[in-house]
Structure 1
Amino acid sequence: MVHVLSSRILVRPVDPERSRAFYGDALGLAVYREFGTGPERGTVYFLGGGFLEVSGRARQRPSPHLELWMQVADVRAAHGELVAAGVEVLREPVREPWGLVEMWIADPDGHRIVLVEVPEDHPIRYRPGI
């Protein structure tokens, strides 16, 4: 069995400065650490229980198969903040049939990001009799 001590998602952006502005300024993710120098330096952001590293440079747009899932306390408040920051919203906040409130955005390279709110009455948070 693999004993994982830590993990992070690695993103190789087409334009590193634009991606750092998106994750650091528009989304407001806190920086965990930075390494290297120049435009392709690495920046690792706190991502709830994990980390997101933006480093290096891609020569082409990423695969459409990678999506990020980020839980937030209030997705509608996040929607307002992100619209004010100029972030393109792919889909407005919607309460899904499975009970989560989801909104979709994309980073500058097209990585789709779902922002999820878990309502207080959702089974993930509420378990009767426990």
Structure 2
Amino acid sequence: MEILASRVLIRPADLEESLRFYRDALGLAVYREFPGGVVFFAGQGLIEVSGSSSAPATPATQLWLQVRSLGQARARLAEYAVRVLRGAEREPWGLDEMWIADPDGRRIVLVEVPEDHPMRRDTRWD
């Protein structure tokens, strides 16, 4: 099987509220719009917010989004009163993470890679 493209599908309880969250609060750029939904750029991936669902968000599915600055992200999210589940902390694996929730309660981890983290350098030459 050859995979040519992929995206995460989100079926929110309130489509318009979720579109405002992903477009305005998170500031994701629009890849494609169609009747009943929008596909957003999310770094190297895509997130489609479309349709609706009465099923609650499950903790088994979460989003991981890397940002340049958690401080800047936190300031932007405060403007939109985004629910912060856990403030920024350095994890044992060396990444700085902050947890937020989308309008359906879906957990989103925002990650900043510190300057000295191995993900920031080419370890082939160490």
Partner of residue 125 from structure 2, selected from 121, 126, 129: 129
CA RMSD, Structure 1 to Structure 2 (Å): 1.2
Q: Deviations over 1:78-128 (max 9, x none)?
A: 111111221111111111111100000000001100000111211111227
The aligned counterpart of 2:65 is 70
Q: Secondary structure at the match of 1:22?
A: helix
SS at match of 2:65: strand
> Is contact 1:6-1:50 (8 Å) kept?
no
More helix by share: 2
Q: Which runs of 4+ in 1 moved over 2 A?
A: 126-130
Identity %: 56
* Structure 1 partner of 2:13: 14
Quote the Cα distance in structure 2 between the aligned partners of 1:61 and 1:48: 26
Give the partner amino acid of 1:57: S
TM-score (norm 2): 0.94
Task: Give the corresponding residue for 2:87.
Answer: 92
> 1:82 aligned to 2:77?
yes
For structure 1, list consecutive stretches of 5 or more residues without a partner in the other structure: none
**Is the Cα–Cα contact under 8 Å of residues 12 and 55 in structure 1 kept in the other structure?**
yes
How far apart are the structure 2 equivalents of 1:35 and 1:129? Answer: 47
| Deviation of 1:52 (Å) | 0.2
Cα distance per residue 1:46-91 (max 9 Å; x no partner):
0100100000110221222110000011112111111122111111
Counting matched residue pairs gives 125
Structure 2, unaligned runs of 5 or more = none
Aligned residue number for residue 27 of structure 2: 28
Is contact 1:13–1:58 with CA below 8 Å preserved after alignment?
yes
